[in-house]
Structure formats: structure tokens, C-alpha cells
């Protein structure tokens, strides 16, 4: 569970072709980082996978099933945004349970899943607080908790750490990597930060102007960048 395939995925906004035609294979359980300069189409590609944008043409397959026309909830993916989008008037517990409540899940099952996610994220002692009483890192964890309780086949992160200060960002990188090890679920992580890409990824997808320039492990990209753009971006000496 959690493999994602893109076949010639193209996206045009008005007159502008933002993604000319992306082919990509993401394996179950992989930690994949989309990296590239601002405006290169990282968020758009993620939103196309999530179903938050319609593809202009091409196909999105999840676990081998064509989900190109499927509504976001049917795709069983969970997106974590940089703006945490927490409800300030609700407790941490209610924030985490929110998608389950919306789905009409039984209260005891909601409670079981919230307790499980809080345990994984070290939020057990904070469940009755409001988001305003939490640190930035804790708020980010609540947003991740809200994704975990949905038990998605894959997590999609769009620059989740860009609002945090440098020290906290380093901590959260480690926490997200550890979360990936614990859950062993596919994660796609979008960033414009080369260091994040190189330290977190099993597989890096380098994007430039909506095109996939290269796909490979951090070591492969470092040792054998496909072109000068990748070399420059990754900081390889080649
Ligand atoms: P990134 O996340 O890599 O910074 P985006 O995917 O947000 O890049 O944007 C890629 C390009 O698509 C940019 O030129 C942006 O202006 C354009 N774009 C993104 N969303 C829309 C939209 N809803 N309408 C028109 N243009 C858009
Ligand atoms: Mg973006």
C-alpha cells in the first residue's frame, strides 16, 4: 500500500503550462523529496497527486488503481501544510480528531486513534490545550497527528517546516524521519531546501520549471548529477 505512479501528468493554468508532462514512480514506503526552486511546480505536482487540482491530461495511479478522477478523500492520502490550519478554539484532541468526526467515525474509535497518534508524537500531555498554548513545533506535530489518525496510504508534506526557526527545523526534520521509520508509510516531502532533501530522502525528485530533471538517491545525485542545474542545486562538485 502506498505506491504512486504518474503517467504524463500535465497541468495548464489558463495559458501557462506549469507541468509539461511528468512521469514518476514512487514505491510503497519510500521517503521521496520533491526539491526545486520556488515556483518550479512542487506544490502543484503534490496537489495533483492529492486530487486538490485536476490534471489537464495524464494519469495518477495509487496502488495501481487509476485515481485520476477520484475525489481527494477516496485517494486515502493525507496532506500536511506549512500553515498548520489548526482550529484555534478547539483543543488539540478535537483538532486531531476533526477529520474522523467529519467522516462520522464512532467516538471510541476516534479516541483510540487520537491516543495512538498522540503517543507517537509525544502530545499525550497536551491533548486538552488549545493551539495558542503550544510551541511552533508542537503545533506542527498536531497537524501531523491529524494526518496520522486518518491512517493514510501516504503522507504529503508541503514545506511543513518553513515557518519554524532554524534550530527547530533541524529537530523537526529528525522527528519526521523517525516518524517515517515508525510508520513505514510512503511520504512525499516538498521543499526548496537542498539540505532537507539530501538528509531526509530515500529518493530525490529534482524539478525545474515543472520538469523532472532527475530522480535518484541523494548519493546518486551527488555523484552523478544529470546536468549542471542538478549539480548546482544539489551542491555537487561535478
Ligand atoms: P512551488 O511550490 O514549486 O513554489 P507552485 O506549484 O506553487 O510552485 O507554482 C508553480 C507555478 O504555477 C508558478 O508559476 C505559479 O505562479 C503557478 N500557479 C500555481 N497555482 C496556480 C493557480 N491556481 N493559478 C495560476 N497559476 C498558478
Ligand atoms: Mg510551493
187 DSSP β-pair partners: 31, 155
Burial of residue 16 (CB within 10 Å: 0-12, 13-18, 19+) is exposed
Q: How many CB atoms lie within 10 A of CB 59?
A: 14
Q: How many CB atoms lie within 10 A of CB 201?
A: 23
Four-CA torsion 49, 52, 58, 59, nearest 10 degrees: 50
DSSP code per residue over 180-214: HHHH--EEEEEES-HHHHHHH-SEEEEEETTEEEE
Strand ordering across the sheet containing 186-191: 77-80, 154-158, 186-191, 31-35, 203-208, 211-216
Residue 222 has pLDDT above 70, yes or no: yes
Instruction: Please state the separation of Cα 73 from the chain's center in Å.
Output: 15
Name the residue at shortest CA distance from atom 26 of ligand 1: 13
Query: Can you tell me the mean pLDDT for 187-200?
Result: 94
Question: Ligand 2: distance of its center to the CA of 210 in Å?
Answer: 12
Kindly tell me the sign of the dihedral angle through the C-alpha atoms of 148, 151, 155, 158: negative
Q: With beta carbons less than 8 A apart as the criterion, state whether 134 and 88 touch.
A: no
Q: With beta carbons less than 8 A apart as the criterion, state whether 145 and 118 touch.
A: yes
Predicted confidence at residue 238, as pLDDT, reads 57
Residue 233 has pLDDT above 90, yes or no: no
> What is the best residue among 41, 162, 209, 210 to mutate for testing ligand 1's pocket, by most ligand atoms within 8 Å of CB?
41
Lowest mean pLDDT among 3-12, 52-61, 85-94, 160-169: 160-169
Q: Which of 200, 205, 143, 150 is nearest to 176 (CA)?
A: 200
Predicted confidence at residue 85, as pLDDT, reads 83
Residue 123 has pLDDT above 60, yes or no: yes
Per-residue model confidence as pLDDT tens digits over 198-211 = 999 999 999 999 99
Strand ordering across the sheet containing 16-26: 16-26, 4-13, 57-62, 65-66
Q: With beta carbons less than 8 A apart as the criterion, state whether 57 and 225 touch.
A: no
In the chain, the percentage of residues whose pLDDT exceeds 70 is: 98
Residue 31 has pLDDT above 80, yes or no: yes
Per-residue model confidence as pLDDT tens digits over 45-61 = 999 999 999 999 999 99
Element (H, E) at 10: strand 4-13
Predicted confidence at residue 235, as pLDDT, reads 78
Q: Rounded to two decimals, what is the model's pTM? A: 0.94
Residue 168 has pLDDT above 90, yes or no: no
Name the residue at shortest CA distance from atom 24 of ligand 1: 13
Q: Is the Cβ atom of 188 under 6 angstroms away from ligand 1?
A: no
Predicted confidence at residue 214, as pLDDT, reads 97
Q: Is the Cβ atom of 4 under 6 angstroms away from ligand 1?
A: no
Q: Is the Cβ atom of 150 under 6 angstroms away from ligand 1?
A: no
Predicted confidence at residue 237, as pLDDT, reads 67
Predicted confidence at residue 96, as pLDDT, reads 96
Predicted confidence at residue 43, as pLDDT, reads 96
Per-residue model confidence as pLDDT tens digits over 67-87 = 999 999 999 999 997 767 899
Q: Is the Cβ atom of 46 under 6 angstroms away from ligand 1?
A: no
Amino acid at each position: 500500500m502506498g505506491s504512486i505512479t504518474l503517467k504524463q501528468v500535465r497541468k495548464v493554468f489558463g495559458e501557462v503550462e506549469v507541468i509539461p508532462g511528468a512521469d514518476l514512480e514512487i514505491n510503497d514506503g519510500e521517503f521521496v523529496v520533491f526539491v526545486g526552486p520556488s515556483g518550479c511546480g512542487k506544490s502543484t505536482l503534490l496537489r495533483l497527486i492529492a486530487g486538490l487540482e485536476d490534471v489537464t491530461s495524464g494519469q495518477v495511479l495509487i496502488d495501481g488503481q487509476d485515481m485520476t478522477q477520484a475525489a481527494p478523500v477516496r485517494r486515502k492520502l493525507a496532506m500536511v501544510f506549512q500553515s498548520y490550519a489548526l482550529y484555534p478554539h478547539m483543543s488539540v484532541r478535537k483538532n486531531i480528531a476533526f477529520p474522523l468526526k467529519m467522516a462520522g467515525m464512532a467516538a471510541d474509535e476516534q479516541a483510540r486513534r487520537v491516543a495512538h497518534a498522540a503517543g507517537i508524537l509525544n502530545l499525550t500531555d497536551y491533548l486538552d490545550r488549545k493551539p495558542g498554548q503550544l510551541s511552533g513545533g508542537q503545533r506542527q506535530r498536531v497537524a501531523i497527528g491529524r494526518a496520522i489518525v486518518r491512517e493514510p496510504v501516504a503522507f504529503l508534506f508541503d514545506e511543513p517546516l518553513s515557518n519554524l526557526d532554524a534550530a527547530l527545523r533541524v529537530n523537526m526534520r529528525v522527528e519526521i524521519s523517525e516518524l517515517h521509520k515508525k510508520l513505514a508509510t510512503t511520504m512525499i516531502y516538498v521543499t526548496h531546501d537542498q539540505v532537507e532533501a539530501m538528509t531526509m530522502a530515500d529518493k530525490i525528485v529534482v524539478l525545474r520549471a515543472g520538469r523532472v530533471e532527475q530522480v535518484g538517491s541523494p548519493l546518486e545525485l551527488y555523484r552523478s548529477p544529470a546536468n549542471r542545474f542538478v549539480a548546482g542545486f544539489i551542491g555537487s562538485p561535478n
